[in-house]
């Protein structure tokens, strides 16, 4: 009986556990940045690209930028914005909620959060 196959799988599982511990230790570095960005998106019902001027206007209204945006290179501004306010952003263009090319190409993003109507 091929028990060696089971031992091989057990070794692979232990190796994956080692990788997971390493990823946790790296969470304040690049690995962690991706996790934080994914976490923001997981909280987001929808994602929009907006113009720099409208993003700045949101900032001047007191809507803070999420810290993870500054960790990216080049930096992005990413803000959670009430949906009623998003509806008044003329430059808004909705993009898929995923870590895809449209999101990564954008410099200014606004997100609508689950559980926040307006």
Report the residue number, 10 or 70, with the smaller CB distance to other proteins: 10
Report the residue number, 51 or 71, with the smaller CB distance to other proteins: 71
Measure the CA–CA gap between 86 and 75, rounded to whole angstroms: 21
Residue ranges of E strands in 1-118: 44-49, 77-80, 93-95, 108-113
Report the residue number, 27 or 29, with the smaller CB distance to other proteins: 27
Q: Is 49 helix (H, G, I), strand (E, B) or coil?
A: strand
The continuous run of DSSP H or E covering 54 comes out as helix 52-60
CB of 22 to other proteins, least distance (A): 9
CB of 89 to other proteins, least distance (A): 22
Cβ pair 108, 75 in contact under 8 A:
no
Report the residue number, 16 or 88, with the smaller CB distance to other proteins: 16
Q: Which residues are near other proteins by CB under 8 A?
A: 1-3, 5-7, 9-10, 13-14, 16-17, 19-21, 24, 27, 35, 38-39, 41-43, 45, 97-99, 114-115
């Amino acid at each position: 009986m091929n028990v060696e196959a089971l031992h091989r799988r057990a070794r692979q599982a232990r190796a994956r556990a080692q990788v997971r511990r390493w990823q946790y230790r790296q969470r304040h570095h690049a690995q962690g940045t991706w996790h934080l960005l994914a976490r923001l998106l997981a909280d987001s019902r929808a994602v929009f690209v907006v113009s720099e001027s409208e993003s700045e206007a949101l900032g001047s209204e007191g809507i803070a930028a999420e810290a993870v945006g500054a960790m990216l290179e080049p930096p992005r501004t990413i803000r959670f914005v009430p949906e009623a306010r998003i509806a008044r952003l003329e430059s808004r263009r909705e993009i898929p909620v995923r870590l895809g090319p449209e999101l990564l190409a954008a410099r200014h993003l606004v997100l609508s959060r689950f559980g926040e109507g307006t």
